[in-house]
Chains A and B, each alone.
Chain A
Amino acid sequence: MKGTNLGELEELVMLSVGILYDDAYGLAIQKEIKERCKRSITISTVHSVTSRLEEKGYLSARYDGATPERGGRRKRLFRLTAAGQAAIVKMRNMREEMWSAIPNAALVNG
């Protein structure tokens, strides 16, 4: 594995998977990111990110929940793996540490 660093988009996708919990599939993730971050990313990008995260072992996937709108096809549902959870927690901790290291004076006048 080439490093466990998360890219920004990867982080957003993982957080979305966490939020969506039981219904985290490609299109839902795309919508979640659009609503929360006001960022439009294409559906192929979402799939490309999830497949990368699967490779890194941060996401696991299963098939379930076919609907007629999907032409009877099942959703590919994602779940955070233990490693994935650890990775975003680590990310958050790292950020918080860095935030707390900024002296107050640096933030006063922007």
Chain B
Amino acid sequence: MTSRMLESFCNPSILEGILGDLEESYFENRTQKGKLRSALIHLLQVVGFLRPRFKNRSKHSNIETMLKNYIIATIRNLSKHKFYASVNIFGLAVGMAAGFMILQYVYQELTYDQFIEDKANIYRVQTNRYNQGTLSTQWAAGAAGAGYYLHQDFPEIVSFVNLTASRAQISYDNDYFELNNPYYAGDNFFEFFSIPLIRGVDSTALMDQMKEVLSESLAQKIFGDEDPIGKVLKQNDAEDYEVTGVFADFPERSHMKFDLLYSFDSFVYFTSEDSRTEWNWDGFLNYVKLHPEVNPDELSTKFDPWMDELRGEEEQANFRIELILQPLTKIHLISNYRGEIKPTGDEKTTYFLLIIGLFVLFIAWINYINLTTARALSRAKEVGIRKVLGSHRTQLIGQFLFESFFLNLVSFVLATLFVVLVFPSFNDFVGRSISYSWPDASIFWIGLAGVFVFGLIVSGFYPAFVLSNFKPITVLKGKFASSASGNNLRRGLVTFQFLASVILITGTFVVYKQMNFLQSQDLGVTIDQTMVIKTPIYQSDSVMAIKDEVFKNLLNSDPAIQGFTTSSSVPGRTPNWNAGGIRLLTQDESESNQYRVLASNANFLDFYDLEIVPGRSFDDSFGTEESNVLFNEAAIKQIGFEEAQEAINQKIIFWGDTFNIVGVVKNYRQESPKQAYDPLIFRYFPSTSGFYSVKISTNNMRESIDGMQSHWESAFGNKVFDFFFLDDYYYEQYQSEVQFGSIFGLFAILAILVACLGLFGLASYITSLRSKEVGVRKVLGASLNQLLRLLTWDFVKLVVFSIIIAAPLSWWLMKNWLDDFENRIQLGLGIFLIPALIIMLIAVLTVAFHTFKTARLNPAETLHDE
């Protein structure tokens, strides 16, 4: 094939020598460098010969002359109409750039965990727990028994692996290190996910108890360049673990992220052998690998009957456990439940963004079509002359396609430039690190080329066919006017542009209002000026109690500290204690329910300004508070009371013990205003571990932190001092919505910008066509006002029409988005009216600018020629 290419290109007198040399060189390379590489070298060599020197001069190339002609015609045409050309190119470039960025973002979100070899066959078992037929808790994790028994009973499942989170501080040579994501992992973890270890042996690293494998970065942090294998790390000042391996840090685009993995056998050693098979503790991530031929949907249908048999039908009827298979590569997108390893993405947001990206892209293409066909009039004569001089229609199509290609190419280059320029800030914007490197994003680049080609076809072909279709005789007679059908199409396209713009503005508006609404919610809890510190971990409770006492005394004696409390969780954080089987003493076991549980000191409610509706809070001086609990209003409702008052002094059964309800806490936003109030039980633990919350004066932040740190060091030595400020922490929960809002806003602005550019170009063109008409009207006595109304009305009609269509569409879209929020704004009329008015204003201003110019022209000037 390559030789044919050269044959048609090269001067025949030297061709044979060249071909011979190439063949010989290929022959030599093949024996030395292998087939593929030598073929590649060959190809490059052939391309090297495509230069003018070797060209066959006797043959006159048609293509070359034609292309030259096209280029000249294109450049002349563009430079003659600089304004249209720049509007066209700029609009297209902005649209493309916006489209590219969004497509890239969406692409990244859709391709997580691609590095895992067996990804197509790996599924995570997600667990839904039901109480009396109603869904109570959705877990990313589940009971360890799920993986174990599925694997045992279903031959379709080849293997499984368990993971469970750990909370640990480790030390080496008395240096303490904070762990972010330590997990216990089954011994086949690395083989299961085909993750090769950098050091150590995949298959045996997690065999046996008291073994651990570190991430590369953690190993680097602890050991530097030393070989960590065989070293011993102390966990929580007590257990010694031997380092048996090092794995490369997981890529950013994975739903998993660990810095340390302990062997699951260690977990079993500290708990009991039953931990591998139990069904009551939803703290285990279960991954299963299916046979390649197995259909996962078919397999899941067998789970329910199987569970009935395994757990008993009655148990399953009252406390149903539903197991769902999540495809590994989709976990990031579709899953957002309790016990995820790290924050996941959001499917709806991703697809919303995809729609926005496509909108912007389409708006840009439509601009191109509109501007090009609108200008057809001025080119009609050119087409006529060309045809008279003997041009074929195909040649004309070729010419116009070439023009499109040229414009698209320039815009494409500009767009890429935009993307590269704004791309670092876009990254910050979306909170993801987007990479554009070749193999990593190869599909992206191929997709980009696809968008380019598609855009070329969409935006190039229609104008090319319209323009080449003119009949020379009508055009040259000068009686040519654009056809009604062409006008209708153009109107349709402009309507679509405005439709998309209205939807985007309405969307931005709704997202913004919802965010404001959430942030202005009364949380029911005071979170400002609060510093939260994770409690240190000590193996022995008595040691911890002593140190804890020291620390609290220091806090008490510090005048800068206005109060403190200790609790197992803080507002803005899921209470990680989720307990099932809780019921009133008078209720049957089958009526029991799941609750979140928060353990705290007596002053927790006081500290956070939580309100007691009836009853009382905990009090240290009573001495019997261990057997008392507080319920929040949601929990009262769940357990079956209409009035909070009725619940006071009722007895409940909680894991076999009896507790007395002494107070009801007014509902507050423990997690986030996005969600409904969760049923929550408060228990009294004077020495709970978890978090110290400390109220500090904010006058001098630095000093307060330093002060806290010195207290910490005198009480706990060199244990890791890990703190955060609660208000920042709490608002981080809205981070993704805030980002979504700003992305939405940004692209809405871009879309409007592009749409207005198009309108601007179109208006300027059409009004200039009507300048003679305006002249005549002026001569006949039309006023400026009347003229403005006349010229603007055409466009206003389109905008009104698009607003009418856009309103129900955007209502439906935004309702869909809001459905995810338990707590949401109502979609009122104003939400649709304001964007509509904005669009109308922008459109009228854009058009009026031109019409005003035209209408002011002196009729003598517009009428004197011809």
Contact residues of A with B, CB < 8 Å? 25-27, 42-45, 47-48, 51-52, 61, 63, 66-67, 69-71, 73-76
Whether a CB of chain A sits under 8 angstroms from the CB of B710 is: no
Which 10 pairs, one residue from A and one from B, show the smallest C-beta to C-beta distance? A76-B17, A44-B48, A73-B20, A70-B20, A26-B21, A71-B23, A69-B27, A27-B21, A44-B49, A48-B53
A8 and B21 CA atoms in complex are apart in Å by 23
Which residues of chain B are within 8 angstroms of A48 by Cβ–Cβ distance? Answer: 51, 53-54
Whether a CB of chain A sits under 8 angstroms from the CB of B16 is: yes
Nearest residue, chain B, Cβ from A45: B48
What 1/0 flags go to B598-641 for Cβ under 8 Å of A? 00000000000000000000000000000000000000000000
Which residues of chain A are within 8 angstroms of B16 by Cβ–Cβ distance? Answer: 63, 73-74, 76
Which residues of chain A are within 8 angstroms of B19 by Cβ–Cβ distance? Answer: 71, 73
Residue contact A70 to B23, C-beta cutoff 8 Å: yes
Residue contact B14 to A76, C-beta cutoff 8 Å: yes
> How far in angstroms is the closest Cβ of chain A from B20?
4
Which residues of chain A are within 8 angstroms of B28 by Cβ–Cβ distance? Answer: 69
Please count how many residues in chain B sit with their CB below 8 Å of the partner chain's CB atoms.
19
Given contacts A27-B25, A67-B24, A69-B23, are A74 and B54 in contact (CB under 8 A)? no
Whether a CB of chain A sits under 8 angstroms from the CB of B18 is: yes
Given contacts A42-B45, A44-B48, are A69 and B14 in contact (CB under 8 A)? no
- Interface majority SS (helix, strand, loop, mixed), chain B: helix
18 A-B pairs whose Cβ atoms sit less than 8 Å apart in the complex: A25-B17, A26-B21, A27-B21, A27-B24, A43-B25, A43-B48, A47-B14, A47-B21, A51-B14, A69-B23, A69-B24, A69-B28, A70-B27, A71-B19, A71-B20, A73-B20, A76-B14, A76-B17
Which residues of chain A are within 8 angstroms of B14 by Cβ–Cβ distance? Answer: 47, 51, 61, 76
Given contacts A42-B45, A42-B48, A52-B53, are A47 and B23 in contact (CB under 8 A)? no
Given contacts A27-B25, A51-B14, A69-B27, are A44 and B51 in contact (CB under 8 A)? yes
Beyond the given pairs A25-B17, A75-B21, 19 more chain A to chain B contacts, judged by CB atoms under 8 angstroms and listed by A's residue number, are A25-B21, A26-B17, A42-B48, A43-B25, A43-B45, A43-B48, A44-B51, A44-B54, A45-B48, A47-B17, A69-B23, A71-B20, A71-B23, A73-B16, A74-B16, A74-B20, A75-B20, A76-B17, A76-B20
Contact pick for A47, options B24, B27, B49, CB 8 Å: B49
> How far in angstroms is the closest Cβ of chain A from B40?
14
Which residues of chain A are within 8 angstroms of B17 by Cβ–Cβ distance? Answer: 25-26, 47, 61, 63, 73-76
Which residues of chain A are within 8 angstroms of B27 by Cβ–Cβ distance? Answer: 69-70
Nearest residue, chain A, Cβ from B28: A69
Which residues of chain A are within 8 angstroms of B53 by Cβ–Cβ distance? Answer: 48, 51-52
Residue contact A47 to B45, C-beta cutoff 8 Å: no
Contact pick for A73, options B23, B25, B48, B49, CB 8 Å: B23
> How far in angstroms is the closest Cβ of chain A from B576?
64
Contact residues of B with A, CB < 8 Å? 14, 16-25, 27-28, 45, 48-49, 51, 53-54
A71 and B21 CA atoms in complex are apart in Å by 10
Which residues of chain B are within 8 angstroms of A67 by Cβ–Cβ distance? Answer: 24
Nearest residue, chain B, Cβ from A47: B18
A42 and B45 CA atoms in complex are apart in Å by 7
Which residues of chain A are within 8 angstroms of B22 by Cβ–Cβ distance? Answer: 43
Nearest residue, chain B, Cβ from A77: B17
A1 and B14 CA atoms in complex are apart in Å by 21
> How far in angstroms is the closest Cβ of chain A from B12?
12
Which residues of chain A are within 8 angstroms of B54 by Cβ–Cβ distance? Answer: 44, 47-48, 51
A28 and B54 CA atoms in complex are apart in Å by 19
A48 and B50 CA atoms in complex are apart in Å by 11
Which residues of chain B are within 8 angstroms of A44 by Cβ–Cβ distance? Answer: 45, 48-49, 51, 54
Residue contact B51 to A43, C-beta cutoff 8 Å: no
> How far in angstroms is the closest Cβ of chain A from B299?
57
A101 and B77 CA atoms in complex are apart in Å by 61
A51 and B18 CA atoms in complex are apart in Å by 11
Which residues of chain B are within 8 angstroms of A61 by Cβ–Cβ distance? Answer: 14, 17
Candidate in B14, B20, B48 with the most chain A CB atoms within 10 angstroms: B20
> How far in angstroms is the closest Cβ of chain B from A30?
8
Which residues of chain A are within 8 angstroms of B51 by Cβ–Cβ distance? Answer: 44, 48
Nearest residue, chain A, Cβ from B49: A44
Which residues of chain B are within 8 angstroms of A76 by Cβ–Cβ distance? Answer: 14, 16-18, 20
> How far in angstroms is the closest Cβ of chain A from B787?
66
Which residues of chain B are within 8 angstroms of A71 by Cβ–Cβ distance? Answer: 19-20, 23
Which residues of chain B are within 8 angstroms of A73 by Cβ–Cβ distance? Answer: 16-17, 19-20, 23
Which residues of chain B are within 8 angstroms of A52 by Cβ–Cβ distance? Answer: 53
Which residues of chain B are within 8 angstroms of A45 by Cβ–Cβ distance? Answer: 48
A71 and B27 CA atoms in complex are apart in Å by 9
A53 and B775 CA atoms in complex are apart in Å by 70
Nearest residue, chain B, Cβ from A67: B24
Nearest residue, chain A, Cβ from B46: A44
Candidate in A26, A51, A67, A73 with the most chain B CB atoms within 10 angstroms: A73
> How far in angstroms is the closest Cβ of chain B from A69?
5
A27 and B53 CA atoms in complex are apart in Å by 18
Residue contact A43 to B20, C-beta cutoff 8 Å: no
> How far in angstroms is the closest Cβ of chain B from A90?
25
Residue contact B45 to A26, C-beta cutoff 8 Å: no
